[in-house]
Structure 1
Amino acid sequence: MTEAATAQLAFDGSGVDGSLFTAVTDFARDTKWLNTPLELWTNLGLGVFAVLMVLGWWNARRRGTRETTVALAAPVAVVAAFAAAEVVKKIVGEVRPCRSMPHAYIVDACPAPSDYAFPSGHTTVAAATVAALFLLDRRLSAITALFAVVEGFTRVYVGAHYPHDVLGSTLLALPVAYLTSLALRRWATPLVASLSTGALRPLLAGEPVAAPKHAR
């Protein structure tokens, strides 16, 4: 199938919240000094979520096998959410804003017609990380949520997605990642406990934090 035929068959999401999309992209046009930093962040910022998961794992090693299992499950949960988003993306087949609204101010390069918009893959990763870390560390999850909000905004700012793409990916990623983490915490904890007594102990079981000594 040609690219032109693919574009014609795709769903046009501009009728959902096109006006809100253009309000954000007009803001991008008026803040061109932010274009390059936010375009860099929208892609490179995904590395922040990887760092947050590594931080969660590092701290979990000192808290016990159950917490370590949840930390190790986090990237698996993110991958599961991303895979689900890719399936939905193929089913919906929503054409990118740069093709359905070509006169809008678009910062990001326009991808191929077969690279659909709904849901946002970047936001899926961000929201899934929030949910995956929720069972591990509420404070770390809250920090991750702040970065996720920024990630979602930048996807609209650069013109890569409509607001409903970002919202849809969030509503999809949160339950998928949370339930995946919950299931792995239940079923994989015995495996992690077994592995933590062998050669993998440095990766799975750090030294516990010593309790403070009370003065007599």
Structure 2
Amino acid sequence: MTARLQAFDGSGIDGGLYTDVVDAAHRTPHWLDHTVLLWSDYGLAVFALLMLAAWWWPGRHRGPAAAARTLAVPVVVVAAYAANSVLKAVVAEDRPCQSIPHSVTLEACPGPGDWSFPSNHTVIAFAAAAALLVVHRRLGAVALFAAVAMGASRVWIGVHYPHDVLAGALVGVAVAVPLTLAARHAAPLVERARRIPRLTPLLGTG
């Protein structure tokens, strides 16, 4: 109960836009809502596949600096998620479906203490997209499109305000880009690891 009393109510920022989006979701065909819900819940797996593709396709056959950046992408995503978790705890914003009376959402409203700002799904998606853009432009472009769809889906199903998603995108990019670029400094480690016979099939030869 104490957490509820201390929680930040973000409905004054863009609660009206959130309500418009949620209401629109209930006027669209069921198949579309179901598709958006599936994407929102399971779409992050696509980013994992894109990270794997970035490594297995061009990453293993590039120089040690480029390979180090590609290998760092999953680590960068985890770092962005960790930074966002701290920010979530500091802001402690209630979910819109808790703050706005009579909100009818496509997904069950998360309980008290499951904070809304910024959106974790969006942070992960945009961190992956930004990091992939650094290491492989084409895969990064696909990931960026998927990240925008992920962020939009979080509002559509009713679990986030638009500002949660916008902030999540900014946090993801702000953490991912400098960390991915800095990962080139791990090139000597990759070069040494490539000389280990049992790691060569995984790390490639550059």
Normalising by structure 1, report the TM-score: 0.90
Give the equivalent residue in structure 1 for 2:129. Answer: 130
Paired residue for 2:8, among 11, 16, 20? 11
Aligned pairs, how many?
Answer: 203
Letter in 2 for 1:135: V
Q: Deviations over 1:164-197 (max 9, x none)?
A: 00000111110211111122222x1110110011
Runs of 4+ in 1 over 3 A off after TM superposition: none
Please report how far the alpha carbon of residue 102 of structure 1 lies from its aligned counterpart in structure 2 after TM superposition. 3.2
Greater CA radius of gyration, 1 or 2?
1
1:189 aligns with 2:187: yes
Q: Is the 8 A contact 1:119 1:169 kept in 2?
A: yes
Paired residue for 1:46, among 44, 49, 52? 44
Please report how far the alpha carbon of residue 32 of structure 1 lies from its aligned counterpart in structure 2 after TM superposition. 4.6
In structure 2, the residue corresponding to 1:119 is in which secondary structure? coil
State how far apart, in whole Å, the 2-side matches of 1:135 and 1:24 are. Answer: 33
In structure 1, the residue corresponding to 2:135 is in which secondary structure? coil
Please report how far the alpha carbon of residue 44 of structure 1 lies from its aligned counterpart in structure 2 after TM superposition. 0.6
Give the equivalent residue in structure 2 for 1:21. Answer: 18
Letter in 2 for 1:36: H
Q: Deviations over 1:136-156 (max 9, x none)?
A: 111211111000010000000
Please report how far the alpha carbon of residue 68 of structure 1 lies from its aligned counterpart in structure 2 after TM superposition. 1.5
State how far apart, in whole Å, the 2-side matches of 1:32 and 1:86 are. Answer: 34
In structure 1, the residue corresponding to 2:61 is in which secondary structure? coil
Give the equivalent residue in structure 2 for 1:35. Answer: 33
Normalising by structure 2, report the TM-score: 0.95
Letter in 2 for 1:151: M
Counting aligned pairs with the same residue, the percent is 47
1:57 aligns with 2:55: yes
Q: Is the 8 A contact 1:70 1:184 kept in 2?
A: yes
Q: Is the 8 A contact 1:106 1:158 kept in 2?
A: yes
1:82 aligns with 2:81: yes
Please report how far the alpha carbon of residue 64 of structure 1 lies from its aligned counterpart in structure 2 after TM superposition. 2.3
Q: Deviations over 1:85-137 (max 9, x none)?
A: 00000000000011001312311111121110000000000000011112211
Letter in 2 for 1:28: A
Distance 1:89 1:184, change over 3 A: same
- In the alignment, structure 1 segments of 5+ residues that lack a partner are 209-216
- In the alignment, structure 2 segments of 5+ residues that lack a partner are none
Please report how far the alpha carbon of residue 63 of structure 1 lies from its aligned counterpart in structure 2 after TM superposition. 2.1
State how far apart, in whole Å, the 2-side matches of 1:96 and 1:84 are. Answer: 19
State how far apart, in whole Å, the 2-side matches of 1:107 and 1:6 are. Answer: 25
1:143 aligns with 2:139: no
State how far apart, in whole Å, the 1-side matches of 2:33 and 2:98 are. Answer: 20
Letter in 2 for 1:197: R
Letter in 2 for 1:190: P
Q: Which stretch shows the higher mean deviation, 32-41 or 192-201?
A: 32-41
Compute the RMSD of aligned alpha carbons: 1.2
